[in-house]
């Protein structure tokens, strides 16, 4: 096991201090061992580990381990002194010492697990060789820490149970059967789990991004192994399973560097060709001169003839990716566009219907 301390027998009373009662010699030895353990704990806590933390360590992992094992190592020193003191007492029978050793090992395993549990920052070293966007993914790092801590607790619990004499093989077999049953009953959960891992690794979006997933649009609030939470513009919260997210088309609006200002402008059919050409020229000039748009992206052309209007395609890229800024810029551009249409003597078309009644049909109805 972890420690090679076996059934220690102290015979100082009979060998070193002949002439003194063995009882007193063993008690004195036990007191010295306990005091040595307590002093060693104090030295580790107050001097050794504080000084080690100030040194320039060769690796970050060494610093993490020193910080996480400072208290467990100090308590292990006190535990060792207590065990040796109890084992050396004169009234401690030989049959009791194996039990004391078992308790000592049990405590040592708990302290070791405590130190490893506190070293969860080691999981960040697993991402050291990955891409920057993976290393800086807070959600992935949080999940790795949780998985690491769960594994430490499970392994520490199994080692402690084995030290207490519990049937580890039976426990593992039962756990395997239970795990198989759960996996068969939770295939959807497993699918969501793997889908969540793919989202965290590939990062099609991250927390705070504005996305469109299928027919859901909003800001990403949280990403877990099972689901993704999206806050819509009306403040509704959508919780989508990760398998549905991965199977849907994802539009990440946050990753674009500009937005498209595009719509169809309907002009009345009473407009002449000269008026249309003048209007399109004025609209192109306005959009090209605007500080909101990219000059080389401006498009103003006749796109077709509708039921009630001559349709003009108006399109340009706006110098923002933020939604609120885009809405403000679009508002200003629309108002400028309206002024130009009116200044050119034209008007906007609206849906209309013409109804023709024949005179003959009217006379027939009168009869």
State yes or no: pLDDT of 333 exceeds 90: yes
The domain spans of the chain are: 12-177, 197-255, 259-343
Q: How far apart are CA 95 and CA 89, in angstroms?
A: 13
Q: How far apart are CA 46 and CA 218, in angstroms?
A: 53
Q: What does the buried/exposed string (b/e) look like for 162-174 if buried means 16 or more CB atoms within 10 Å of the residue's CB?
A: bbeeeeeeeeeee
State yes or no: pLDDT of 232 exceeds 60: yes
Q: How far apart are CA 205 and CA 219, in angstroms?
A: 10
- Contact 229/221 with Cβ under 8 angstroms? yes
Residue % of the chain over a pLDDT of 90: 20
- Contact 167/100 with Cβ under 8 angstroms? no
Tokens matching residue 11: 């015979």
Highest CATH level, class, for 197-255: mainly beta
Q: How far apart are CA 147 and CA 122, in angstroms?
A: 12
Residues 6+ apart with CB under 8 A from 43: none
Could you tell me the pLDDT band of residue 315, with boundaries at 50, 70 and 90? very high
pLDDT digits (tens, 9 = 90+) for 51-76: 777 766 666 777 777 778 888 888 88
Tokens matching residue 149: 């801590």
Mean predicted confidence (pLDDT) in 355-364: 65
pLDDT at 292: 93
Q: Is 128 exposed, middle or buried (0-12, 13-18, 19+ CB in 10 A)?
A: exposed
Mean predicted confidence (pLDDT) in 151-176: 75
pLDDT at 367: 46
Lowest mean pLDDT among 70-84, 106-120, 139-153, 193-207: 193-207
Q: In what order do the strands lie in the sheet with 210-213?
A: 237-241, 227-232, 216-223, 210-213, 250-252
146 vs 274, which has greater pLDDT?
Answer: 274
In 3D, which of 95, 99, 110 has the Cα closest to residue 161? 110
Q: How far apart are CA 27 and CA 336, in angstroms?
A: 98
- Residue 246, CA distances (Å) to 185, 211, 225, 251, 252 in order: 22, 13, 12, 12, 13
Could you tell me the pLDDT band of residue 177, with boundaries at 50, 70 and 90? low
Predicted TM-score (pTM) of the model is: 0.46
Rg (CA), the chain: 39
Whether CATH 3.30.70.100 fits 259-343: yes
């Amino acid at each position: 096991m972890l420690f090679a301390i076996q059934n220690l027998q102290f015979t100082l009373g009979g060998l070193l201090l002949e002439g003194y009662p063995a009882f007193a010699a063993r008690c004195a030895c036990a007191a010295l061992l306990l005091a040595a353990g307590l002093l060693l704990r104090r030295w580790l806590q107050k001097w050794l580990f504080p000084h080690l933390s100030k040194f320039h360590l060769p690796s970050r992992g060494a610093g993490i381990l020193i910080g996480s094992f400072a208290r467990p190592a100090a308590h292990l020193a006190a535990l060792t002194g207590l065990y040796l003191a109890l084992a050396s007492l004169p009234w401690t029978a030989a049959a009791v010492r194996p039990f004391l050793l078992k308790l000592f090992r049990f405590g040592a395993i708990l302290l070791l697990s405590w130190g490893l549990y506190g070293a969860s920052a080691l999981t960040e070293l697993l991402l050291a060789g990955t891409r920057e966007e993976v290393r800086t993914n807070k959600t992935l790092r949080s999940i790795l820490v949780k998985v690491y801590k769960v594994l430490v607790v499970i392994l520490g619990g199994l080692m402690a149970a084995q030290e207490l004499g519990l049937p580890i093989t039976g426990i593992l077999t039962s756990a395997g059967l239970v795990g198989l049953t759960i996996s068969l009953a939770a295939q959807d959960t497993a699918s969501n789990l793997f889908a969540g891992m793919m989202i965290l690794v590939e990062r099609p979006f991250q927390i705070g991004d504005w996305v469109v997933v299928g027919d859901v649009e909003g800001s990403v609030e949280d990403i877990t192994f099972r689901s993704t939470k999206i806050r819509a513009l009306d403040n509704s919260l959508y919780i989508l399973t990760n398998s549905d997210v991965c199977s849907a088309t994802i539009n990440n609006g946050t990753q674009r560097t500009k937005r498209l200002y595009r719509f169809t402008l309907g002009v009345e059919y009473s407009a002449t060709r000269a008026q249309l050409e003048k209007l399109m020229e004025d609209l192109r000039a306005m959009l090209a001169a605007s500080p909101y748009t990219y000059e080389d992206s401006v498009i103003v052309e006749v796109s077709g003839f509708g039921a009630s209007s001559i349709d003009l395609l108006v399109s340009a890229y706006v110098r923002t990716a933020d939604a609120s800024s885009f809405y403000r810029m679009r508002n200003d551009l629309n108002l400028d566009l309206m002024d130009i249409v009116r200044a050119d003597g034209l008007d906007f078309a609206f849906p209309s219907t013409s109804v023709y009644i024949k005179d003959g049909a009217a006379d027939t109805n009168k009869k």
